[in-house]
Amino acid sequence: MEIRTPDIPTALEPAAELDQLGDEIAELSAHIEAATAHLLDLIREFDARGGWNTGFRSCAAWLAWRVGLDPGAARERVRVAHALGTLPLLARALARGELSYAKVRALTRVATPETEARLLAVGRAGTAAHVERIVRGWRRVDRKAEARETARRHASRALHVYQDEDGMVVIRGRLAPEVGALLVQALTAAREALYQQRRADVSAETPSPDVSAKTPTMAEQQADALALLAETALHSGIDPGAPGERYQVVVHVDAPVLADPDAPGQSVLEDGTHVSAETSQRLACDASRVVMRHAPDGQVVEVGARTRTIPPAIRRVLHHRDRGCRFPGCGLPFGQGHHIRHWAHGGPTTLSNLALLCRRHHRAVHEEGYQVDRQSDGELRFRRPDGRPLPEVPPPREVRGDPVKILRAQHDAEGLVLNARTTTPGWLGERLNVGWAIDVLHPLAR
Ligand SMILES: [Zn+2]
Ligand SMILES: [Zn+2]
């Protein structure tokens, strides 16, 4: 009887047979790299068209859920897919099976349309380990250049406020990108608050036949938004306060509205902004609660003690049990306690009636029509707004036929010629001098 272990070749193995096996591995690898390029194209398109935006927080989260990638690998696929959208040479090399996904992944961390050709040459010449080292060296040079650029930009920050001849105040400035983003976000929020309010006011009054004639221009709206920002900042004090208090939102809700969105009553933020009944239900789901009793004339006659809708002890157990957002494919490690049956509807604050959801998914179940209930076996069941189930783990797609044959046939049809030498680097065994390589290749290295 002949006993063969796969990792100890014996003299009985003809060398030619092993060569053939090696070639087969190399050729199939080239096919898989080429197929990966196609897969990345599909992911890029799916992301651009928002195909994942069905309750998932990102394309990567969807990918992890749907095809079972670990979250890090899923994020990398999406990142590389995006990068290849602007790097045609690297994309083509992967599609032809000439560069492995591992090399492309490393190269796309630093490649730009300007440096792509040089980095492609690095990818062709070296092994994946060489490429990884070159990329690390490249990043060091990039980071130094970036730090210089950041320091230069920071030094040029300025805000000039002066009065024009007619008394108007003129503002001109340069802000660091992240500060600018903050300002733009705040302006957008203020503009929305102002103009949603205004629309509500207009519709409440006699409807004007030409509202559009009175609608302020974007520049005018921005000016109004800035005024609101200044007012708000002074009103609530510049001191941001304790971090916990910083983002506190106070909602006043009439009890009937909390139980039934169609009931008469109001739900308003502290500043009088109206919020939808669904939003106030979400905010109330896991919150501090103070019950006030009003006299018929509106005067407060009784104020109860502040309580948490979910007491700290139950919350701790809930976190321990759920460990993160329970929405399929999410798992974010922090969240809010959601009452499956809202406490305003008489739902008890017990573990079986609670589920941990992140902010994004708490909104999904309260305001976007996603449904969650607990089945008799204790498992949570999520449904899309149209009622279709959203399983925790989707069933894998069945592969019909021999996947290798399918790949080969597809690549043959595309006229792609792949063989055992396609992915082999040009490296002949010489020592890699990373410093020298970066000096020669990187446009910013001297
Ligand atoms: Zn909730
Ligand atoms: Zn979530």
Length of the chain: 446
Single-letter residue type at 319: H
Q: 28, 404 in Cβ contact below 8 A?
A: yes
Whether 164 is in a domain gets the answer no
Contact of 338 with 319, CB cutoff 8 Å: no
For the full predicted model, state whether its pTM sits above 0.75: no
Same domain (yes/no): 41, 133: yes
Same domain, 265 and 356: yes
Confidence of residue 192 (pLDDT cuts 50, 70, 90): confident
Distances (CA, A) of 396 to 41, 65, 88, 399: 21, 11, 32, 9
What separation in Å is there between the alpha carbon of 29 and the centre of ligand 2? 36
Q: Is residue 228 domain-resident?
A: no
Give the mean pLDDT of 93-114.
Answer: 93
Distance CA 266, CA 343 (A): 18
Considering the domain architecture, whether residues 286 and 360 belong to the same structural domain is answered as: yes
Residue pointed to by tokens 């990884």: 132
Question: Is there a single domain that holds both residue 277 and residue 338?
Answer: yes
How close is the Cα of 382 to the center of ligand 1, in Å? 14
pLDDT in tens, 331-368: 888 788 999 999 888 899 999 999 999 888 898 898 88
Q: CA nearest 263: which of 252, 272, 254?
A: 254
Top mean-pLDDT range of 59-73, 186-200, 384-398, 416-430:
59-73
What SS3 state is found at 320? helix
CA–centroid distance, 258 to ligand 2, in Å, is: 23
Same domain, 285 and 366: yes
Residue 3 has pLDDT above 60, yes or no: no
Residues 6+ apart with CB under 8 A from 269: 249, 250, 251, 252, 275
Domain residue limits at 318 = 251-383
Residue 208 pLDDT grade (very low, low, confident, very high; cuts 50, 70, 90): very low
Assigned domain for 189 exists: no
328 lies in the same domain as 272:
yes
pLDDT band per the 50, 70, 90 thresholds, residue 244:
very low
Ligand nearest to the Cα of 362, by number: 1
Could you give the count of Cα atoms lying within 13 Å of 401 in the half-sphere of its Cβ? 7
Alpha-carbon gap, residue 330 to 358, rounded angstroms: 8
Structural tokens at position 43: 């992911």
Q: Rounded to the nearest whole angstrom, what is the distance from the C-alpha of residue 286 to the centroid of ligand 1? A: 7
Report yes or no on 149 lying in a domain: no
Q: In whole angstroms, what is the distance from residue 309 CA to residue 280 CA?
A: 14
- Compare 248 and 285 and report the one with higher pLDDT: 285
What is the reported pLDDT for 209?
45
Question: What protein residues have CB closer than 5 angstroms to ion ligand 2?
Answer: 325, 327, 330, 332, 358, 361
Task: With cut-offs at 50, 70 and 90, classify the pLDDT of residue 99.
Answer: very high
User: Shortest CA distance to 18 belongs to which of 32, 31, 8?
Assistant: 8
pLDDT tens, residue by residue, 132-179: 999 999 988 888 887 887 788 788 889 999 888 888 889 999 887 777
Residue 413 lies in a domain: yes
Kindly state whether residue 98 falls inside one of the protein's structural domains: yes
**Ligand 1 centroid vs 292 CA: distance in angstroms?**
22
- The region of weakest confidence among 67-71, 190-194, 376-380, 389-393 is 190-194
Q: Do 310 and 375 reside in the same domain of the chain?
A: yes
* Same domain, yes or no: 262 and 367: yes
Question: Residue 11's pLDDT is what?
Answer: 54
Q: What separation in Å is there between the alpha carbon of 288 and the centre of ligand 2?
A: 22
Give the number of whichever ligand sits closest to the CA of residue 324. 2
Give me the torsion for CA of 425, 426, 429, 430, rounded to 10°: -130
In this structure, of 239-243, 301-305, 389-393, 422-426, the range with the lowest mean pLDDT score is: 239-243
Q: 8-62: per-residue pLDDT in tens?
A: 555 556 888 888 898 888 888 889 999 999 999 999 999 999 999 888 888 999 9
The pair of structure tokens assigned to 164 is: 């024009």
Q: How many CB atoms lie within 10 A of CB 199?
A: 12
> How remote is the C-alpha of 370 from its chain's centroid?
19
CA 250/CA 261 separation, integer angstroms: 19
Asked whether residue 255 is assigned to any structural domain, the reply reads yes
**According to the model, what pLDDT value does residue 89 have?**
97
pLDDT at position 202 is 57
pLDDT score recorded for residue 1: 47
Q: What was the pLDDT predicted at 242?
A: 37
Domain for residue 343, yes or no?
A: yes
Amino acid (one-letter) located at 194: L
Q: Distance between CA atoms of 55 and 366, rounded to whole angstroms?
A: 12
| Residues 260-280 pLDDT 10s | 766 767 777 666 667 777 888
Q: Do residues 359 and 429 share a domain?
A: no
Torsion of CA 238, 244, 250, 254, to 10 degrees: -170
| Cβ proximity of 36 and 94 under 8 Å | yes
- Measuring CA to CA, which residue among 294, 274, 276 is closest to residue 368? 276
Q: What is the mean pLDDT of the chain?
A: 83
Predicted pLDDT of residue 214: 67
More confident call, 442 vs 244: 442
- DSSP states of 212-242 as a string? TTTPPPHHHHHHHHHHHHHHHHHHH-SS---
Say if residue 357 is in the same domain as residue 261: yes
Q: How far is the centre of ligand 2, averaged over its atoms, from the C-alpha of 362 (Å)?
A: 7
The tokens for 28 are 């199939």
Name the more confident of 432 and 41.
Answer: 41
The answer on pLDDT for 240 being more than 60 is no
Q: How confident is the model at residue 317 (pLDDT cuts 50, 70, 90)?
A: very high
Please list the helix, strand and coil fractions of the chain in percent, rounded to the nearest 5, in that order: 50, 10, 40
Whether residues 437 and 313 share a domain: the answer is no
Q: Are residues 371 and 410 in the same domain?
A: no
Sorted by sequence, the CB contacts under 8 Å of residue 319 that are 6+ apart come out as 356
Ligand 1 center–CA 351 separation, angstroms: 14
* 326 alpha carbon – ligand 2 mean position (Å): 7
Confidence band, pLDDT 50/70/90 cuts, at residue 312: confident
- Residue 379, burial from CB neighbour count under 10 angstroms (0-12, 13-18, 19+): exposed
Give 69-89 pLDDT, tens digit per residue. 998 999 999 999 999 999 999
How many distinct structural domains can be found in the chain? Answer: 2
